[in-house]
């Protein structure tokens, strides 16, 4: 099946856009990828403070017998700027599952999962004209071929954090998958060392999501297997701008029966954060649940009957 990367104008991701009472689409649906042979998949999108945005995705067989990562710039009217461009320099084996974050001036970083022999989570920084700045960054431990599922968040001033999950016992989890992270300054130099996010390490902790506010406070959420007593549950950990953990890891879902996983998170300027996740609903399948937490990580209110 031929997959196209189609742009859904994600207003929620545009920091400068104030949501009106009613959201109306601006313009029509756009096809992002120019190269259409085989599959283009796994899009990620980020915008600067003026509304200019970039979409990245992985494309199969576009450059040799592998999957590689490409990007396309747009201005604030959703008009393409330039042509689609390659993100990675190392293109042997598969580079896949890209994620992008952008500062207020349009500088951006793309992280991806390198499924090849070089392995691990890699990233590359670009300026607002999509010109690469520096070399590819080895984000996860250099020998960590088991690092998967990257997520990234960036402050308006360019500092960013990448998180991922890994089987690498050297990272300090020691039991199946754990969630790890690395902070970077605005020049993409590592800030501090790689750190483990999950405190509870038994079994699988994986598929993290992350959000940071302009002060640098950030929160990571992930799914953990059997920690809540019945298959997967969702947990959160807060950090300050120096990367110091704030409080203990927090159980997110109140309903623990069945699966709660595939979490997403966003943090506001006051440090409050909202988590959304996929929640099992017995015989009726799955729904989406959300929960709002205050800046101390305490439950502020339940915003979904599924929580």
181 binds Ca ion (CB under 5 A): no
Site string for Ca ion, 255-284 (x = CB under 5 A): -x---x------------------------
From 41-49, 98-106, 206-214, 222-230, give the range in contact with Ca ion by CB under 5 A.
222-230
Q: What are the Cα distances from residue 232, in Å, to 127, 169, 170, 192?
A: 39, 21, 24, 31
Among 135, 175, 185, 240, binds Ca ion (CB under 5 A): 175
Question: How far, in Å, CA of 288 to CA of 263, rounded?
Answer: 10
Taken in order 69, 107, 33, 261, is the CA torsion positive or negative? Answer: positive
Binding window for Ca ion (CB under 5 A); candidates: 82-90, 148-156, 171-179, 210-218: 171-179
Among 230, 246, 272, 303, binds Ca ion (CB under 5 A): 230
Q: Does 178 bind Ca ion (CB under 5 A)?
A: yes
Q: What are the tokens at 145? A: 């071929």
Task: Please identify, using beta-carbon distances, which residue of 36 and 201 lies nearer to Ca ion.
Answer: 201
Question: Which segment (44-52, 67-75, 150-158, 193-201) binds Ca ion by CB under 5 A?
Answer: 193-201
Residue 173 binds to Ca ion (criterion: CB under 5 A)? yes
Number of residues that bind Ca ion (CB under 5 A): 12
Cβ of residue 197: shortest distance to Ca ion, in angstroms? Answer: 11
Residue the block writes with tokens 């990620």: 44
CB closer to Ca ion, 84 vs 149: 149
Tell which positions 238-257 bind Ca ion, by CB under 5 A: 256
Stretch that binds Ca ion, among 147-155, 165-173, 242-250, 270-278 (CB under 5 A): 165-173
Residue 176 interacts with Ca ion (CB under 5 A): yes or no = yes
Is residue 149 close enough to count as binding Ca ion by CB under 5 A? no
Residue 228 is a binding residue for Ca ion (CB under 5 A): yes
Q: Is 233 in the site for Ca ion (CB under 5 A)?
A: yes
Q: How far apart are CA 54 and CA 85, in angstroms?
A: 11
Long-range contacts of residues 53-56, Cβ cutoff 8 Å, at least 24 apart: 53/13, 53/14, 53/102, 54/100, 54/102, 54/108, 54/130, 55/5, 55/7, 55/100, 56/87, 56/98, 56/99, 56/100, 56/110
* Residue listed under structure tokens 């405190």: 199
Q: Which stretch binds Ca ion (CB under 5 A): 13-21, 62-70, 230-238, 265-273?
A: 230-238
Distance CA 23, CA 227 (A): 39
* Cα–Cα distance, 303 to 285 (Å, whole number): 20
CB of 181 to Ca ion, least distance (A): 15
Q: What are phi and psi of 13, to 5 degrees?
A: -90, -5
Tally helices (H) and strands (E) across the chain: 0, 22
Considering the complex, what minimum distance in angstroms separates the CB of residue 252 from Ca ion?
11
150 near Ca ion, judged by CB under 5 A: no
The CA distance from 95 to 135, in Å, is 16
Using the minimum distance from each CB to Ca ion, give the nearer residue, 131 or 305. 305
CB closer to Ca ion out of 178 and 271: 178
Residue 305 Cα distances to 176, 275, 279, 302, angstroms = 32, 14, 11, 7
Please give the full DSSP string across 110-150, using - where no structure is assigned: EEEEE-SSS-SEEEEEE-TTS-EEEEEEE-S-TT-TT-EEE
| Closer residue to Ca ion, CB minimum distance, 91 or 290 | 290
Contact positions toward Ca ion, by CB under 5 A?
A: 173, 175-176, 178, 201, 205, 228, 230-231, 233, 256, 260
């Amino acid at each position: 099946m031929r997959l196209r990367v189609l742009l859904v104008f994600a207003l929620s991701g545009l920091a400068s856009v104030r949501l009106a009472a009613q959201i109306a689409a601006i313009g029509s649906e756009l096809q992002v990828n120019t190269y259409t042979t085989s599959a283009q998949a796994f899009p990620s999108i980020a915008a600067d403070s003026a509304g200019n945005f970039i979409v990245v995705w992985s494309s199969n067989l576009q450059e040799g017998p592998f999957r590689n990562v490409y990007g396309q710039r747009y201005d604030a009217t959703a008009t393409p700027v330039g042509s689609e461009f390659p993100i990675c320099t190392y293109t042997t084996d598969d580079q896949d599952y890209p994620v992008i974050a952008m500062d207020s001036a349009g500088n951006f970083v793309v992280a991806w999962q390198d499924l090849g022999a070089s392995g691990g989570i890699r990233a590359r920084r670009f300026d607002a004209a999509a010109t690469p700045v520096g070399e590819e960054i080895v984000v996860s431990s250099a020998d960590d071929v088991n690092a998967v599922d990257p997520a990234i968040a960036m402050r308006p001033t360019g500092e960013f954090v990448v998180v991922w999950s890994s089987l690498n016992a050297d990272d300090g989890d020691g039991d199946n998958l754990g969630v790890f992270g690395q902070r970077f300054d605005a020049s993409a130099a590592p800030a501090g060392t790689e750190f483990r996010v999950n405190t509870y390490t038994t079994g699988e902790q994986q598929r993290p999501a992350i959000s940071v506010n302009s002060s640098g406070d950030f929160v990571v959420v992930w799914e953990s297997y059997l920690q809540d007593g019945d298959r997967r549950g969702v947990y959160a950990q807060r950090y300050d701008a120096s990367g110091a953990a704030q409080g203990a890891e927090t159980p997110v879902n109140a309903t623990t029966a069945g699966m709660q996983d595939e979490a997403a998170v966003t943090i506001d300027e006051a440090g409050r954060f909202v988590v959304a996740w996929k929640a099992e609903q017995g015989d009726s399948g799955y729904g989406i649940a959300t929960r709002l937490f205050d800046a101390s990580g305490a439950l502020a209110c339940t915003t979904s009957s599924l929580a």
